[in-house]
Amino acid sequence: FQGVRAAWRSEGAVYAEVALPEEHRVHAAGFGLHPALLDAAMHTIAFHGREEADAELVLPFAYREVALHASGASALRVRVTPSGPNTMTLELADESGAPVASVGSVVSRPVSPEQFGTAATADRMFRVAWEELPIRPDGTTVEPLPVVDAEDVHRLATTPEASLPDALSLDLGGGVGSGTGDGTADVRELTGRALRVVQAWLAEPSLASSRLLVVTRGAVAVREADPVDPAVAAVWGLMGSAQAENPGRILLLDIDQETIPTALLPAMLAGDQRQLAVRDATCFTRHLTRVVEVPEAGPGGVGSGGTVLVTGGTGALGAVVARHLVAVHGVRSLVLASRNGPEAAGAAELEAELVKAGARVRIVACDVSDRGSVARLLDMAPKDVPLSAVVHTAGVLDDGVLTALTPERMDAVFRPKVDGAFHLHELTRDLDLSAFVLFSSAAGTLGNAGQGNYAAANAYLDALAHQRRAQGLPAVSLAWGMWQQAAGTGMTGRLGDADQRRMTRGGVAPLSPAEGMELFDAALRTAESTVLPIKLDLAALRAQAADGPVPPLLHKLAPPARRAARATTDEELVTGRLAGAPPEEQERILLDMVQQEAARVLGHSAAATLDPDVLFTEIGLDSLMVVELRDRLAKRTALRLPPSFVFDHPTLRMLARQLRDELEKADADASPGGARE
């Protein structure tokens, strides 16, 4: 009750005075009602008739008739009056007595202490849900110009500007069961073709104002019974990253028919949704929602009576899983496979630790991308303790923006993730497994910028789990968020401070090993084929929503904020400061802005410390930071900047000068007759 200053009862009501701590009052103006102040006001409900030692524990469950009358309060006077069983009415006023907010009723419900044991799990376990998007044909039509390959794009770019289309479409054809069936060749062919087309499209300046429609079939399951093709699903992962790097330019559409529903395209292209599906002529959009029905606590899903295979078993995550299986699930026979096997750093110590805990352990060097090696690996389970479960944690990172990806970089990530999972799936399908667990990544769902190859590989894993479930086989894909790992260990352990800050700004906090294994157990008890165990900082997401757009997938968790109308500040849009300024002053204003935004991306406190004539690589800006810097500059200038904009002007001063040229060009284009007045 740190915000409660005084509380008393009078004539059946509770009155209180609440206030923000002095150091936080300066932030009150940025909120309709500061959340800490509202929290303090809610605490006063506890003073109403709760003096009995055995009073039932209740917590707020539903709010009705909520109204905000004034914003920016730093202190409140509160009146709480009962209006029914476990129901209260709240009236909030400022220190002068003027109304600030009111709540017609706060309905509370009883809770038991046992319910708090799974609260953290329930709030960190998400899944993809689909809902109908109410759009109908409006009589207009849009006919995107179809392109099949990169050569089509290059030919199109040479046509007269007046003939250039507003939209292009890449129809990847196929559908579930239409591939070659040749192992993982389909995923390489489809993602490779999509990558080449998008790279060619982004490289053509004449197409910079166009949009791209990418059409798939069988990439996603809107309904549980929908069949999916993991190879096509990988395209959605790849294109999700492309969308993050090129906001507003790419629309993903999965359909259940041969032809594109052109009658719905105008509304689809005009909306702010980036990923849509059409089923039976109805349009659906997807979003993240909490997994709320997690069975009672206790490990489940991994049979302790057999041998469990953990790929990537000597890596940071594999070792955490191995220890957990032995200590919590009671597994007594483990095969840990990794590229270096017994020669991996810490392998001997891990084996000794697990043996001491009572397990029989075999550490094996194995390239899981090789089918023969995987077949031999599966034969290594002791005959008296046959294989009972598989946990596939193997994976590598090779991050880079979409324009920098190559077939070799795609393949490097696909081999341990995609090939390994496919071989394990095929070679164990006739075994009586209790669990088949795939360690995926939220990147496959959320589409992280700079991780197109990794997102594609993990989207494949998520779809493979769905496909196995449809075939009556056990499977769950865990699309993890960020893990908290020691520097230099594991994949996320190699992230630098700037990378960590970027993810934190994006609303993702790292999971500790203990939290991760709690979610691992919860995921095994769900009926979902794919879950996202991820620690989302919803406060950071809502702050992001108040400042600008959040990914549509997160709109249900962090709805776009309704803000009071106000003048756009110089801090947000720089064009107002440039009007009427001489050229030298314009360049200084733009350079200051570029330095400010680069400092924010780098996490520096002082923009002036950044040398404007030093190359980006020397001040610490990597390719992912460059993408973020471009997006920030586009927002501050209201310009549409191509993906290569920052790369093509690799110092802050060069960038500022080019921004001035672009703004002058945009100003001239907007003037009557296309000429500057």
Which residue carries 């009972």 as its tokens? 388
Taken as a whole, the chain contains a residue count of: 677
Segments making up each domain of the chain, as ranges: 4-111, 127-291+541-554, 307-537, 575-674
Higher pLDDT pick, 209 / 497: 209
CATH classification of 307-537, choosing from 3.20.20.70, 1.20.120.640, 3.40.50.720, 3.30.110.30? 3.40.50.720
Of the chain, the percentage scoring pLDDT greater than 90 comes to 50
Mean pLDDT for 193-211 is 93
Q: Which CATH superfamily is domain 575-674 in?
A: ACP-like (1.10.1200.10)
Equal fold, 127-291+541-554 vs 307-537: yes
The predicted-structure confidence for 102-150, as pLDDT tens digits, reads as follows: 999 888 887 766 555 544 565 789 999 999 998 888 778 788 999 999 9
The C-alpha atoms of residue 209 and residue 640 are separated, in whole angstroms, by 8
Higher pLDDT pick, 531 / 112: 531
The predicted-structure confidence for 442-476, as pLDDT tens digits, reads as follows: 999 999 888 999 999 999 999 999 999 999 999 99
Average pLDDT score over the chain? 85
Question: Which DSSP string corresponds to 120-175?
Answer: HHHTTEEEEEEEE------S----PEE--SHHHHHHHHTS-GGG--SEEEEE----
3-state secondary structure of 206: helix
Spatial CB neighbours of 208, under 8 Å, sequence gap ≥ 6: 640, 642
Does CATH number 3.40.50.11460 belong to domain 127-291+541-554?
yes
Mean pLDDT for 62-78 is 91
Note the pLDDT of residue 507.
77
Q: Which long-range contacts (CB under 8 A, 24 or more apart) does 140-146 make?
A: 140/266, 141/262, 141/263, 141/265, 141/266, 142/166, 142/167, 142/262, 142/265, 142/266, 142/269, 143/262, 144/168, 144/169, 144/211, 144/213, 144/265, 145/169, 146/170, 146/171
Spatial CB neighbours of 310, under 8 Å, sequence gap ≥ 6: 318, 321, 322, 325, 334, 335, 336, 337, 391, 393
Higher pLDDT pick, 191 / 88: 191
Q: Provide the token pair at 177.
A: 């069961």
Residue 672 in this model has a pLDDT that exceeds 60: no
Strand runs labelled E in 13-121? 13-19, 58-68, 75-84, 87-93, 99-110
> Taking a C-beta distance cutoff of 8 angstroms, is the pair 458, 237 a contact?
yes
> Taking a C-beta distance cutoff of 8 angstroms, is the pair 284, 277 a contact?
yes
In our burial notation (b when 16+ CB lie closer than 10 A, e otherwise), range 292-323 reads: eebeeeebbbbbbebbbbbbbbbbbbbbbbbb
Q: How far is CA 158 from CA 162, 207, 278, in A?
A: 11, 10, 34
Note the pLDDT of residue 26.
74
> Would you state the torsion angle of the CA atoms of residues 669, 671, 673, 677, taken in this order, to the nearest 10 degrees?
-120
Identify the weakest region by mean pLDDT among 102-116, 228-242, 628-642. Answer: 102-116
> CA 398: distance to chain centroid?
18
Q: How far is CA 581 from CA 504, 566, 568, 586, 652, in A?
A: 37, 24, 19, 6, 20
CATH code of the region 4-111: 3.10.129.110
The predicted-structure confidence for 297-354, as pLDDT tens digits, reads as follows: 555 568 778 999 999 999 999 999 999 999 999 999 999 999 999 999 999 999 999 9
Note the pLDDT of residue 425.
97
Note the pLDDT of residue 586.
87
Note the pLDDT of residue 292.
77
Which run of H or of E encompasses 238? helix 230-245
Note the pLDDT of residue 527.
86
Beta bridge partners of 253: 215, 276
